[in-house]
Amino acid sequence: MQLFLRIPTLKPTNKHEIDLRTQLHGYRLDADPMCNNLWGLRDSGHIKDRQVVSEDMAFDTITRIHCNLGKNKTFDLREEYYGITKEEIGCYILSIV
């Protein structure tokens, strides 16, 4: 998806790429070209853009937020990050209790 955001004229070559290309309207990249952060644009449920967290980075992100802010604030990270579910947070919290 980041490649299609960086190069808007790039044409998709298979169904997966076509699907990614159609989802671009809800995302943006960081203004700084050295950063590779992908952001989900704000929607009716959120007042600001949220950083997209890939499935393989969800646990690390939850751990970092939990260690920095504590258990009570961990559920709030869904306001800052896109792609982390309540279930993933709940599983993490239960695993450390």
Q: For 46-62, what is the mean pLDDT?
A: 86
Nearest one of 57, 52, 65, 62 to 23, comparing CA atoms = 52
List of E strands, the chain: 27-29, 38-40, 50-52, 81-82
List of E strands, 18-57: 27-29, 38-40, 50-52
Residues sharing a CB contact under 8 Å with residue 66, sequence separation 6 or more, in sequence order? 74, 92, 93, 96
Res. 97: pLDDT tops 70: no
Cα separation, 32 vs 14, whole angstroms? 29
Res. 32: pLDDT tops 70: yes
pLDDT of residue 44: 80
pLDDT of residue 73: 66
Better pLDDT: 10 or 72: 10
pTM over 0.85: no
Better pLDDT: 26 or 78: 26
30 touches 17 (CB < 8 A)? no
